[in-house]
Amino acid sequence: MSGYIASLRLAHALRCAILMEYDQLKVNAVSADSNNVKCETETHILDAQQHMSQVLRTTSIEQIEQFVGGATSSAVDIDYYTPGQVLANELVLLTISGPELQLLVKIHFNYQQIRSRFRSRVSHASAPLSRQDVDFIKELGNQFCGAICRKLASQDIMAGLSIPLSTRGYYEIYADYTHKTSPFIKFGEGWGLEGDFGTLYFSCYSELSNPQVIPKILAINPTEDAPAQDIDFF
């Protein structure tokens, strides 16, 4: 009788050990799947960030060359750049916003640079010179962001454009440009635009509220300007 009870106990112990091992295998499988999904998501986010950077830089070159009238320029990395870094004394900012994403675009500049290179382009001669400088950069921002909106719309990413606002460049220190992957995807980008006008600095902070917009972003052709269309302003 004691031998029979011992056998039952041994069988029960073996069954418990097998079940525990099976449960652990399931946990490991779920964990592996979760890690694979996380890795795949992070890869897609990095792809979107890199492609958006290419779209922004290419478009800024196109628009400055049109705006200034034939000036040649090139986009360059900013040494040791971190999002939120103060890049110049003044800045103009615009927001591109839609159901799937939001872009906060800034152009950083110094008055003396604009006066020396773009003076002949500035209108309203009776206005104070600093006001003319700001108006010039605001119009450049409108043109640049309008081109971005058209490229987004080419892949059915609907977005409106704010009016340009100007402020002091040092207010950048109060901005929050933390990279995030949840609940929204957020990443920042900064670059310089070099030409015979010196260097203008651009920055853009992107927020993707819908991850399904990533394939649309990757489908944007950076060098192709989409057809002109009405843009919603807010």
- How would you write the chain as a 3-class SS string? CHHHHHHHHHHHHHHHHHHHHHHHHHHHHHHHHHHHHHHHHHHHHHHHHHHHHHHHHHHHHHHHHHHHCCCCEEEECCCCCCCCCCCCCEEEEEEEECCCEEEEEEEEECHHHHHHHHHHHCCCCCCCHHHHHHHHHHHHHHHHHHHHHHHHHCCCCCCEECCCEEEEHHHHHHCCCCCECCCCEEEEEEEEEEECCEEEEEEEEEEECCHHHHHHHHCCCCCCCCCCCCCCEC
pLDDT band at 151 (very low <50, low <70, confident <90, very high): very high
CA dihedral 115, 119, 124, 128 (to 10 degrees): 20
Q: Model confidence over 206-223: pLDDT tens digits?
A: 999 988 999 999 999 998
Whether the pLDDT of residue 3 is over 60: the answer is: no
| Distance, CA of 188 to CA of 203 (rounded, Å) | 7
Comparing CA positions, the residue from 86, 92, 68 lying closest to residue 194 is 68
Q: Model confidence over 72-85: pLDDT tens digits?
A: 778 888 887 777 78
The more confidently predicted of residues 177 and 219 is 219
Residue 38 has a pLDDT of 45
| Distance, CA of 192 to CA of 111 (rounded, Å) | 17
The more confidently predicted of residues 199 and 159 is 159
The more confidently predicted of residues 195 and 144 is 144
| Distance, CA of 131 to CA of 156 (rounded, Å) | 37
pLDDT band at 30 (very low <50, low <70, confident <90, very high): very low
Whether the pLDDT of residue 110 is over 80: the answer is: yes
For all residues of the chain together, what is the average pLDDT?
78
CATH number (3.40.50.880, 3.40.50.1980, 3.40.1550.10, 2.40.30.170) of 2-218 reads: 3.40.1550.10
Q: What is the mean pLDDT of residues 115-137?
A: 63
Residue 32 has a pLDDT of 41
pTM exceeds 0.85, yes or no: no
Residue 138 has a pLDDT of 92
